[in-house]
Structure 1
């Protein structure tokens, strides 16, 4: 639940901030008549994202065990790639995202209503599709049915509330620090999902080393204990970890975290 709450909060706030930027620009330039087109685009993006998540779940149920493991492992790796790119993308464009979105919306308004709907759908849809894929793989890694969804929805709700308060001027937070802290936490979550994806590919016999363990701490960290569940839920920690899983986890954290912290030394202003 905690890992998916973080995913919902971080990714949901990014999407909500995009929406608030678009809405604020139209209100500020006295174009409220265009707002329904923006909301229609947002609704389309949300619908598509939910449909993708449901479709992935339904498709997986029709597959054999080996095919399920192959699909799950592949999607996990793809999801980690998307999230890693978005973490660095947000740091790079944090200062200019408002100006870029407003420029795109200005051009879309000049082109007509359909262009506004498409522009809003694409702006939010990119966040939505990435979130859907990352949530799906994180939920699969957690091995639960309702807890990941509950955590994710709570995170989304908090993100929407924060974005609304920021939009109304009732709350001011340092978004640069927020995205830095959540970025670091997401890197560890992503590392766990990446390791889980590798394990799935080992289960599918696509990658070797399924029986070659780096360590087995099942006696010290029982999977059904509260701390074992906590480690599994947040970091996807497995008491029985293969050598390849351990190598991938350590390599990802070492490389991505060091690059992210290096880039974080340059302050990033809030996207306003």
Structure 2
């Protein structure tokens, strides 16, 4: 018991320090928030990512959706967790919403967007399946690699994550992925599973411009958000090499999404030069 307590002391100290830091950041940034205009979405966000606009695929997913649908929005980098204890979350005309997918679905209905109107009934079903695969499965493979197998954690360090945050993140996310299930796999098993996810996406995309033809749809936001983390925020890793080497059409797709929808990409990353 004594040894267990000894090992827990650094973690507990790190949790307390990081919690205090986040509270101070939240209060400081909250005072800077300007009241936004009617019909402008406030996107509660955290810091910029090193080579993509966020280390969170769900923040990137939601912001890509705003750009795709031409929804006026304003970023609030306040490090505040939303009503469900996560980021991103949004405010829209006094309404607070959490969960990237639910936010997209609400705004699509509320604003009567035609972003998926070109999809057939069968294509909508496939779109839903792809969205669920990347957001609920491929995502966890990325999380576990980032926190369990990526010993360098270069992207996190480039984003100025201090030692306390890295200690806490490693402990919490390893626990989360173990509970979810992917954290019970070894590196070789995880890579085999990830390859099958990449292959499914690559085979379905083929030579198409977007996943359902020449016009982007909502599922492109999810897929781009998740693939962006492997492509830009896991430099030098086996998943990154696999994506670049064996699934080049997915890499080309990510660059098309970036070039066509993110004209301000360079202004929203810490280091505009893409890692090798």
Q: Output the TM-score relative to the length of structure 2.
A: 0.27
**Which structure has more helix as a fraction of its residues?**
1
Q: Which structure would you say has the larger Rg?
A: 1
Which structure carries more relative contact order (alpha carbon 8 Å, separation 6+)? 1
